[in-house]
Amino acid sequence: MMHMHAALIGGLAAAVTALPLALTSAEAAPSGGRTISVVGHFGGPTNFVDNAPKAHGFNPGPGDLLTAKSTIFDQSDAKRLGRTSELCVGTVARPFTMQCDISLLLTNGTLEISGAIDPTRHPWRAPVIGGTGAYANARGTVKDTNLTGHRERLTITLER
């Protein structure tokens, strides 16, 4: 999930914490489910814990924690649908990998995303592992692509 934000924090935070989904349109997915496209506006990292070994500046590595938030809009980027709650833990230095758990808190339910990604490279993909409300027991995948500004598009393909 990006440029998602000032130099390295912009790129990493944007990618890691930019999992904002704006649900507006659904179309048939090849697997018989549906595809949802949303736009996330990166709200910035909310916390960074630089665990040992210490890095200089914002340079996440294995064991480091990053939390972030984004605002979710529909696919046209006009109507606010909710927000995210994001937690990523550095697991591998090279190739850079973080284990990220992202909750999309939407007006009609939640979508839960969890997986190992490199938030500094786009597009990245992760599994949708569950949900509530309109997305109860959701399964599928999410693909993140960068947009201009501190925004990203999340394309979620849900299985039946």
User: pLDDT per position in the chain (160 positions), as tens?
Assistant: 333 332 223 333 333 333 333 344 444 444 457 999 999 998 877 888 888 877 766 677 898 999 999 999 999 999 999 999 999 999 998 888 999 999 999 999 999 999 999 887 889 999 999 999 999 999 999 999 999 988 999 999 999 6
The DSSP-derived string for 43-56 is EEEEEEE-PSSP-S
HSE at residue 66, side-chain half, CA atoms within 13 A, is: 28
pTM for the model: 0.78
Radius of gyration over every alpha carbon of the chain, rounded to an integer in angstroms: 15
- pLDDT on residue 93: 87
- What structural domains and CATH numbers belong to the chain? 7-158 (2.40.480.10)
- pLDDT on residue 20: 35
CA dihedral sign of residues 52, 57, 61, 65: positive
